[in-house]
Each structure stands twice: as structure tokens, then as C-alpha cells.
Amino acid sequence: MALSSTLNLIKHLLILFLLHIPSHNSSYLEYADALSKSILFFEGQRSGYLPNDQRIVWRSNSGLGDGWEVSADLTGGYYDAGDNVKFNFPMAFTTTMLAWSVIEFGDSMPAGELRNALVAVRWATDYLLKTVSQLPNRIFVQVGDPIKDHNCWERPEDMDTARTVYTVEAPNTVSDVAGETAAALAASSIAFRSSDPAYSETLLRTAVKAFEFADTYRGAYSDNSDIRDGDELLWGAAWLRRASQDDSYLNYIQNNGKTLGADDNINEFGWDNKHAGLNVLVSKEVLEGNMYSLQSYKASADSFMCTLTPDSDSSHIEYTPGGLIYRPGGSNLQHATTISFLLLVYANYLQRSSQSVSCGSISVGPTKLRQMAKRQVDYILGENPKGMSYMVGYSNYYPQRIHHRGSSLPSIEDHPQMIACKEGSVYFNSSDPNPNVLVGAIVGGPGEDDAYDDNRVDFRKSEPTTYINAPFVGVLAYFVANPNPS
């Protein structure tokens, strides 16, 4: 009887405690749920042999012969979007952003989610190590013929399109892909430093080789006629500097900025343009390390923050009526997630150095930057004119017809027979919801008028990508620990 009375008292006190939890704890639970799902998404994008602890169970093994035509093992890695091609350039950027999320905000992640985030990073880095395993003479940059792949609508498990391996042999140029790969491996080496020192050292050592290839044969893979991808060279050098603390990379950033176009397009950041991210990353050396020789990078980072601030004299970023950062071209939420990430990282650097940004007639401090980021996050998670979460599986109202082959076609378990290239068209054109929920996927998002039609055919709005999710992992981790920044 005494034990029963004690248990009832504990139960009563627990109910009272839960009823009186401050409202911000509900925000904690929401951000924590979104964080967990944002990481889980990457398991739905996996290529290769899936492990026994695979949590998105409607996916199965795929791409098991990748690399055979060049006598190399190129299995693994991620499909970067709703198709079945492995594009190493955006995959490497995804990896860099996942690793940066862990570096800056890993301390804010629950232990289990930090572990899951590192698993997501390693699924990418294990593959990227394979792509640069034949340096210094050759680098693999892509697996899968995009034209043939995009002409089919089939599950990755059923792929019968050409798994062409795209390679670059020295002295042909590939500074963009190799530079981003160097950045990804260097950033990941920091992320793994405490949990797996030996793997961390392998990543850093390989990053050095990838950067040497990128710098020796300067020029873009996508356009070998000129050197217009210097941002990846500076980005790779900046990450190698942070990972190794080697002064040679510091000198590289100082001495090559003007030559490699550090002042170009400073208000852009994404898988194909690193300028704004580069400036924020390098500003840490100025703000926290007093490296005033890099002041020009900090000036560009400050300028970028001012352009984002609506009441700043130099504001020129477009917002939708509902408050979402908007840039034309489709897949708009990639801008909202990457910019939110940079806002939070820069806010941390400013706070640790007790500084703010002068934007003409106003001064912008860390709190303002964090509030701006929170507005973007909350919009994505449902505080928008449609009341829709643009993260699949989060809340009760989210996109049901995303542009994604594996999600929209019946699973192997439900439909063991192969669904050939053109046989999938009936599912593509169907108005039915996708049978498989790709939990955590963030779609391209609404247009400039906040409109979203949940249409599988409209890939610019309905297709998820790894490089939308990757920075959002870090952003959500911050808000798990700080749901109401002040």
C-alpha cells in the first residue's frame, strides 16, 4: 500500500510538472522532432548496400555495380535529389554543410542525434574517399547518365539506365568539384576528430591531396575554358586552414583572394557558389583570432548580413509577403536554409567577440541575426500563409506528392516485380499521394507569392534535395537549445 501511494504521488506530481512547463519547452520538442527528421531524411537518399539498422525501410540496396566500368568501387554516397544520379559536386557541398552543422552546433544536439548526424556525414565521406582514391592523376566526379536517368521514372533499386562514370584526368581542370571535395573532407575531419581520430586523419590527409589537384589544374569541370570557380579553391583552402591550422593555407587565402574573385558575388551561397559562406568562415579568423590581414573577408560578411536586414540602408534581399527569403530559379528553400545557417554561425562569432555589424544607420547584433534565422525556420515548419510544413512528415499538413522516384513508386516489399523505365510514368502522373513518406525531406518550397500546389510534376517546388536539408540540420540543432533567442 505504501508503495502504491508513493507511485500515485509521483504520478500526480509529474502531471503537475508537465502542466506547468513553460511554453518554450513545447518549442523545444517541436524543433527536436524536426531535427531528428531532418537527419533521418538522408537514409532515404542512400545509394549502395543498406545497413541492418536502416530506418527508412521502404528503401533497399541500389547502385551495387557503380564503378565497375572503370574497375573501381564507387558504391555508396547519396542521390542528391529525386533522381538516381550521384552528382559529386552537390554531394560534396552537402557533406561540408552536414559537417559544419556538427562543428558549430553539435553541442546542441541530443546525443542520439549527434550520432545520427555523424553517420550521415560518414555515409558521404566514405564515398568521397573512393572518388579521389586515384589521385594525383584522376578524380571521379559523377555516376549515372543524367539524360537517360531523367528520361525514366523508376526506383533506384530497379535502375537499368547507364551508370556512366564521369572522370577527370590530369591535366584537365576540375577545381570546382575537387575544391569542394577537399572542403568536405577537411570539414569532416574536424567533425570526427574526437570520436574517431584515425578516420579524421585519413580525411584530412586526403583533403590535402584533393586540394592540390584542384589548385594545380585550375578551372571548372563545367567549363574548362576559364578560371571562374576560384570560390571553391578559397573555400577548400579555408577549410584546410581550419582543420590543420597550417599557415600555408592562411597565406593562400590572403594572397589569392583577388586573383580568385573573392569579391565576386559575395551575397550568394549554395552548392555552386561559396562566396558568402567563405566570408563567414574566414571571418572567424578575424573576429576570434585577430587575423586582420583577412579583414576584407569580414567586410564582405558584414555587407552580406546588412543586405539581409530589412531595416538596413543596404537591404536588397527579396522576401515573400509571408516573410520567406526568395530568390528566383526554383528550389527556393535552399536559399532559406543556407542563409539561416550563416546568420546563426555569424551571430555566434560576433557574440564570442562582443561585436556587432554596422549597417549604415543601424547596428545589427547577434540577437537580430538569430531572430531573422528563426523567422525562416518557423516559416518552413508551418508558420506561413498556407499553414503547411515544407518538411515531409512534420506536423499534420505537409507535401504529399513530392518529386521523388523512390517515394512516389511502390516499395520493393509492396511490389516485388521490377517497374521498368517507362512503367513508372503512371505513378509520376498520378494525383494520388506518394505511397512512401520520405520523412524529413524539405521540398523546393513555395514561389514568390507564398503559393504551393503540391504537384509532383512541378519539380522546382516539390523536389527535395540533400543540400536543402544539410544546413538545416545545424539550424535546427541551434533552436533545440535556444528556442527563443534573445
CA 426 – CA 407 distance, rounded (Å): 14
Residue reference for cell 532515404: 44
Name the least confident of 226-230, 251-255, 370-374, 459-463: 226-230
> Under a CB-based contact definition with an 8 Å cutoff, are residues 93 and 465 in contact?
no
Q: What is the pLDDT of residue 218?
A: 92
CA 445 – CA 467 distance, rounded (Å): 14
Q: Is the pLDDT of residue 5 over 60?
A: no
Q: What is the pLDDT of residue 339?
A: 98
Q: Is the pLDDT of residue 261 over 80?
A: yes
Per-residue pLDDT averaged across 324-347, rounded? 95
Per-residue pLDDT averaged across 330-356, rounded? 97
Following DSSP, what letter does each residue of 24-70 receive, concatenated? HHHHHHHHHHHHHHHHHGGGGGB-BSPPTT-S-TT---B-TTTTGGG
Per-residue pLDDT averaged across 258-270, rounded? 87
Q: Would you place residue 2 in the very low, low, confident or very high pLDDT band (cuts 50, 70, 90)?
A: very low
Q: What is the pLDDT of residue 313?
A: 85
> Under a CB-based contact definition with an 8 Å cutoff, are residues 394 and 37 in contact?
yes
Bridge-based pairing of strands 325-326 and 318-319 is antiparallel
Per-residue pLDDT averaged across 468-477, rounded? 98
Continuous segment of H or E residues that includes residue 325:
strand 325-326
Indicate the CATH number of 27-481 among 1.20.1560.10, 3.40.50.720, 1.50.10.10, 3.30.1280.10.
Answer: 1.50.10.10
CA 229 – CA 226 distance, rounded (Å): 9
> Under a CB-based contact definition with an 8 Å cutoff, are residues 172 and 217 in contact?
yes
Q: Is the pLDDT of residue 314 over 50?
A: yes
Q: What is the pLDDT of residue 436?
A: 98
Q: Which tens digit of pLDDT belongs to each residue from 50-79?
A: 999 999 999 999 999 999 999 999 999 999
Q: Which tens digit of pLDDT belongs to each residue from 96-114?
A: 999 999 999 999 999 999 9
Q: Is the pLDDT of residue 19 over 80?
A: no
Q: Is the pLDDT of residue 18 over 50?
A: no
Q: Which tens digit of pLDDT belongs to each residue from 433-453?
A: 999 999 999 999 999 999 999
CA 486 – CA 256 distance, rounded (Å): 39
**Cβ-based neighbours of 82, under 8 Å, separated by 6 or more:** 402, 403, 404, 405, 407, 459, 463, 464
Per-residue pLDDT averaged across 278-302, rounded? 95
Per-residue pLDDT averaged across 261-277, rounded? 90
Closest CA to 91 of 212, 194, 225, 181: 181
Name the least confident of 335-339, 402-406, 482-486: 482-486
**Considering the chain, what percentage of its residues have pLDDT values greater than 70?**
93
Q: Looking at the DSSP assignment, which residues form a beta bridge with residue 391?
A: 442
> Under a CB-based contact definition with an 8 Å cutoff, are residues 391 and 381 in contact?
yes
Average pLDDT of every residue of the chain: 92
In the Cβ-directed half-sphere of 116, how many Cα atoms lie within 13 Å?
A: 21
Q: What is the pLDDT of residue 266?
A: 83
Q: What is the pLDDT of residue 14?
A: 29
Burial class (CB in 10 A: 0-12, 13-18, 19+), 428: middle
Top pLDDT among 315 and 294 is at 294
Following DSSP, what letter does each residue of 158-181 receive, concatenated? G--S--PEEEEETTS--HHHHHHH
CA 370 – CA 62 distance, rounded (Å): 40
Continuous segment of H or E residues that includes residue 334:
helix 333-352
**Helix-then-strand count for the chain, H and E:** 17, 7
Query: At 362, is the secondary structure helix, strand, or coil?
Result: strand
CA 50 – CA 46 distance, rounded (Å): 7
Annotated catalytic sites, by residue? Answer: 403, 454, 463
**Cβ-based neighbours of 484, under 8 Å, separated by 6 or more:** 24, 27
CA 99 – CA 330 distance, rounded (Å): 25
> Under a CB-based contact definition with an 8 Å cutoff, are residues 233 and 186 in contact?
no
